[in-house]
Amino acid sequence: MDGMHDLGGKQGFGRVRYSLKAQTFHEPWEKRVNALYSLAVKLGIFNMDEYRHAIERMEPRHYLSASYYERSLTSLATLCVEKGILTQEELERRAHGAFPLSTPSAPGRPNVATREHFKPGDKVRVKTDYVPGHVRMPGYIRGKTGVVVSESPAYPFPDAHAHGVKAADEPTYDVRFSTEELWPNSADPAFVHVGVFQSYLERVI
């Protein structure tokens, strides 16, 4: 889905702020949220693609105003409600007020039937698919052309895995894009490498 979470390559947000000595956690509740969602994944209550998709489904203004662990908490709470572990009323009773959850999910999809196997050096194009459910294709590479560098082991296909749809595992390909291809006349000359699932790619002849 094209959501507010997909910020890669978008202008207007300024430079990325970072610190080599940044704290992992700033408040005790953040550690608890991190532990709880990790436990839920370990217990099989939900998987990481479902977890990511629940963050993507946050209302845009909520997403932009929330911290990293607030987004984790929203995803955790949303999935626990959707899985019948607890109710929103219970959450709001404990919170003594409103407890915003993510919006409902859209359907997922299985593997693309026409997917191909690629090898290093192959020229590929990212398909211009617009998927209503979960997808692990950054918006800024859609329709762009690059070169395959290497192939990973197979992983669960996220477009299906986030929705309980049956699908074969797929490799991702390390695809090298030039900044001129991604952002013509708007970036310094460089290469950007992106791990792209097999179903998202087509061969350039």
C-alpha 83/C-alpha 64 separation (Å) is: 26
**What pLDDT, on a 0 to 100 scale, did the predictor assign at position 102?**
98
pLDDT in tens, the chain (205 residues): 788 888 888 888 888 788 888 899 999 999 999 999 999 999 999 999 999 999 999 999 999 999 999 999 999 999 999 999 999 999 999 999 999 999 999 999 999 999 999 999 999 999 999 999 999 999 999 999 999 999 999 999 999 999 999 999 999 999 999 999 999 998 899 999 999 999 999 999 8
- Axis-axis angle for helices 48-56, 68-82 (nearest 10): 110
Predicted pLDDT of residue 16: 79
Q: Is the dihedral of CA 96, 100, 105, 111 positive or negative?
A: negative
Q: Please give the model's pTM, rounded to 2 decimal places.
A: 0.91
Q: 178-181 contacts: CB < 8 A, separation 24 or more? A: 178/146, 181/144, 181/145, 181/146
Query: What stretch of H or E contains 77?
Result: helix 68-82
CA gap 157, 168 in Å, rounded: 7
Structural domains in the chain, CATH included, are: 1-105 (1.10.472.20), 123-203 (2.30.30.50)
Q: How far apart are CA 173 and CA 153, in angstroms?
A: 9
In sequence order, the 6+-apart residues with CB closer than 8 A to the CB of 74 are 54, 55, 58, 62, 66, 100, 101, 102
Q: Give pLDDT, residue 181.
A: 97
